[in-house]
Amino acid sequence: MKINTKRLLSLALISGFAVSLTGCGGSNGSSASGCNQIAIAAVGPYTGADNASGRPARNAAELAVSQFNAKYPECPIGLVAYDTQGNPDNAANLADGLVADKRIVGVVGPSFSGETAAMMPAFEEGGLPSVNGSATNPDLTKQGWKTFHRSVGSDATQGPAAAVYIVDGLGAKRVAVIDDTGLYGKTNADLTAKQIKELGAEVPLRTNVDPESVDYSAAVASLKAANIDAIYFGGVSAPAARLIRQARDAGITAPFVGGDGLNSLDFINAPGGASIGAALTCPCILAEPPTGKRQITFAKAYEEAYGATPGLYTAEFYDSANMILNAIKDGYRTRSGIQNWLKTASFKGITKQIEFDKTGEVKAGSIFVFEVTPEGGLKQVAQIKGKKIVK
């Protein structure tokens, strides 16, 4: 189905201004007929330094809503986009207003763990269910929140899997572990460093860099002095791009591995080709090239709408949005109704069969390792289940 891009863009509105909604009388039937004026919210960094990570997620939710409205024109669902710029303070400031908008019955996102942690208390107080496609900090499912769900595995599996890849896959014996001081980055780095040691390798350097700085000469000097044979970076793409460029310029050729926060064009296209050959882990599929009929259909619709191929987590956010939309289709039009639907859902997504445990954690999934190619893309180089590389 070809989607009109202008129509798609009219559905979403940055920063939470009013969105046009129409609807009809309420119903609790088993079809999509009889909707009130309701909407779902997409939350993440849609402008600013991290927008390359957030916009594909918003696009995926937007595409899902547009397809739903085309299939069920008697039940048009609105989409309101809230731009956090990836900043937890911004996210916290937006949370109360989002919850106060009674049209919003579910949330897709936020994109990052820090902004998710900042918004969840308000979502919980307002009984507003969320389905997250990329916030992977393990602590998010340890807070007793009933309204938090995620369609991907956490860093509790991603960090150890990175260590397996570095030690068993790359054969590294001395690994430097660096983070960018953020919640996501430090947690991932700590988990990875712990598993590296448990696998019998050394971590002679455990340090961090300031994500706001552009001069990482001190960290680079420490890397050179530590005599390492691999680098793990916990954090997001912008500081990772600066670090790998400066390390390569200093003659450091050790393999560079990070988490899914490196999935952004500013890292993949780091100046001078510095990131070529670097690897990143992800509890997500690589939707391009797609595999299987349903992924192919999704990828084609996404490319027709946005003129780009879906990146990492795009498919997971598409599944997240469609879970909320399926609850609406099944007649659940309130926050509490959608929350109850999610608790017992067994949803066949395009990424996997999705079910949640009592904490909101997804019950299944592998960790995949992707390598940056000279063409500016990613290729899968390993799949890790538990503590074993399976391919």
The DSSP line for 128-171 is --EEESS---GGGGSS--SSEEESS--HHHHHHHHHHIIIIIS-
Alpha-carbon distance 190 to 235, whole Å? 11
Give, to the nearest 10 degrees, the angle between helix 88-100 and helix 113-125.
30
The residue ranges of the chain whose pLDDT is under 70 are 1-34, 287-291, 391
Tokens of 327: 């609850």
Tokens of 257: 């591995």
Residue type, 15: S
Tell me what pLDDT residue 115 has. Answer: 96
Q: Which residue has the tokens 């949370």?
A: 95
CATH code given to domain 156-282+368-389 = 3.40.50.2300
Residue pair 371/279 in contact by the 8 Å Cβ criterion: yes
For residue 125, how many other CB atoms are within 10 A of its CB? 12
State the Cα angle at 92 between 87 and 93, rounded to 5°: 100
Q: Give, for 219, the enclosing helix (H) or strand (E).
A: helix 217-225
Tell me what pLDDT residue 364 has. Answer: 73
Among left, alpha and beta (phi > 0; psi -120 to 50; other), residue 95 is: alpha
CATH 3.40.50.2300 intervals, the chain:
5-153+287-360, 156-282+368-389
For residue 294, how many other CB atoms are within 10 A of its CB? 14
State the Cα angle at 345 between 344 and 350, rounded to 5°: 160
Q: What length is written for the chain?
A: 391
Alpha-carbon distance 152 to 185, whole Å? 17
Q: 205-217: buried (b, 16+ CB within 10 Å) or exposed (e) per residue?
A: beebbebeeeebe
Rg of the chain over Cα atoms, rounded to whole angstroms, equals 21
Rounded to the nearest angstrom, the gap between the alpha carbon of residue 198 and the centroid of all alpha carbons in its chain is 28
Per CATH, the homologous superfamily of domain 5-153+287-360 is Response regulator (3.40.50.2300)
Alpha-carbon distance 175 to 172, whole Å? 7
Tell me what pLDDT residue 288 has. Answer: 61
Tell me what pLDDT residue 11 has. Answer: 41
Phi, psi of 8 (to 5 degrees): -60, -50
Cα–Cα distances in Å, from 172 out to 114, 218, 235, 386, 391? Answer: 31, 23, 21, 19, 18
Cα end-to-end distance, the chain, whole Å: 34
Contacts of 102 (CB under 8 A, 6+ apart): none
Paired sense of beta strands 367-372 and 202-208, if any: unpaired
Indicate the pTM of the whole model: 0.74
Q: Give, for 52, the enclosing helix (H) or strand (E).
A: helix 51-71
Alpha-carbon distance 49 to 225, whole Å? 31
